[in-house]
């Protein structure tokens, strides 16, 4: 099922997308057309969020960087999270801000020293994440890239959390990113350098994973500058589409 959190009738609610994909059936039993949703919230409340840099070889190549010898991790702050259709704010003074379309893997149970052979037992489901980044702040003096990726609104997330059982093969999902309707980025999770089980094994070797921890698995090549007034749409097969407008940070 595709689960959502949202505000309608002035209160926060949870629900699931109906079979025809045009309405949300709330936990109360009431059905709301998608147009009635007043605010889309991130579909889960993450515990901690672990990001992956350079986890697609073609993305490393487009940045002129070598394939990493082990997963390159950073922490994405929970304060960056926004839901579907919420605005991303372009920071004052930035010269290059871009999207990063990523499959987000949600952990379902407590684990440490998990072996990759058993790693998928610890996954509860998936969603779409946009690891918005200001390239100005990614260099040797800003590693890990906290300032580049940690601004409020730099974590669009959703709109749905999809149960693990409903994604047949998370290692073969198409990702597409559109800006103002123009296809800018396309890739497939089969090209991840480090697979989901390998990431879970690596991270859990030194860090306890807990329910609602989220692993942002990295983005393929195809970065491009976005500007205030643009609309970014991320799609991942089987999960849905996450869309957010870009606004000038001075309106924040």
**Tens digits of per-residue pLDDT, 154-202?**
999 999 999 999 999 999 999 999 999 999 999 999 999 999 999 999 9
What's the confidence (pLDDT) of residue 146? 83
Of 131, 18, 40, nearest to 85 by C-alpha is 40
Cα distance between residue 145 and residue 98, in whole Å? 14
CATH of the domain at 119: 3.90.850.10
Residue 201 φ/ψ, nearest 5 degrees: -60, -45
**Tens digits of per-residue pLDDT, 95-138?**
999 999 999 999 999 999 999 999 999 999 999 999 999 988 87
- Residue 103 preceded by cis peptide, ω within 30: no
Decide if pLDDT at 139 tops 70. Answer: no
What's the confidence (pLDDT) of residue 57? 80
Q: 103 and 198: one domain?
A: yes
Tell me the average pLDDT of the chain. 94
Of 102, 136, 94, nearest to 232 by C-alpha is 102
Is-contact 231 243, C-beta < 8 A? yes
Cα distance between residue 53 and residue 55, in whole Å? 6
Q: 124 and 162: one domain?
A: yes
CATH of the domain at 23: 2.30.30.370
Q: 29 and 55: one domain?
A: no
Q: 129 and 186: one domain?
A: yes
Q: 172 and 210: one domain?
A: yes
Q: 6 and 57: one domain?
A: no
What's the confidence (pLDDT) of residue 94? 92
Range of the domain at 128: 42-251
Q: 110 and 213: one domain?
A: yes
Q: 247 and 139: one domain?
A: yes
Q: How many domains does the chain have?
A: 2
Higher pLDDT, 87 or 57: 87
Cα distance between residue 41 and residue 82, in whole Å? 7
Decide if pLDDT at 142 tops 60. Answer: no
Is-contact 90 247, C-beta < 8 A? yes
Cα distance between residue 194 and residue 233, in whole Å? 25
Q: 3 and 53: one domain?
A: no
Q: In what order do the strands lie in the sheet with 240-248?
A: 88-90, 240-248, 231-236, 174-179, 182-188
Q: 108 and 5: one domain?
A: no
Q: Which residues of 175-201 are buried (b: 16+ CB within 10 A; e: fewer)?
A: bbbbbeeeebbebebebbbbbbbebbb
Q: 211 and 162: one domain?
A: yes
Q: 121 and 150: one domain?
A: yes
């Amino acid at each position: 099922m595709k689960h959502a959190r949202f505000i309608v009738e002035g209160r926060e609610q949870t629900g699931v997308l109906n079979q025809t994909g045009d309405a949300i059936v709330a936990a109360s039993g009431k059905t709301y057309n998608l147009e009635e949703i007043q605010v889309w919230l991130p579909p889960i409340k993450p515990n901690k969020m672990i990001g992956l840099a350079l986890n697609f070889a073609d993305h490393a190549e487009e940045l002129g960087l070598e394939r990493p010898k082990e997963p390159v991790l950073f922490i994405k702050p929970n304060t960056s999270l926004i839901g579907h259709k919420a605005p991303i704010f372009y920071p004052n003074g930035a010269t290059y801000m871009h999207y990063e379309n990523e499959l987000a893997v949600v952990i379902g149970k407590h684990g440490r020293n998990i072996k990759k052979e058993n790693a998928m037992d610890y996954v509860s489901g998936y969603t779409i994440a946009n690891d918005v980044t200001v390239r100005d702040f990614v260099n040797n003096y800003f590693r890990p890239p906290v300032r580049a990726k940690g601004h409020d609104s730099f974590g669009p997330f959703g709109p749905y959390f999809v149960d693990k059982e409903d994604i047949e093969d998370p290692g073969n999902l198409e990702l597409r990113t559109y800006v103002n309707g123009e296809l800018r980025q396309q890739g497939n999770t089969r090209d991840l350098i480090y697979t989901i089980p390998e990431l879970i094994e690596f991270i859990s070797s030194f860090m306890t994973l807990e329910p609602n921890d989220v692993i942002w698995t990295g983005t393929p090549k195809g970065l491009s500058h976005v500007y205030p007034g643009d609309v970014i749409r991320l799609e991942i097969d089987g999960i849905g589409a996450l869309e957010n407008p870009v606004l000038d940070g001075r309106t924040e």
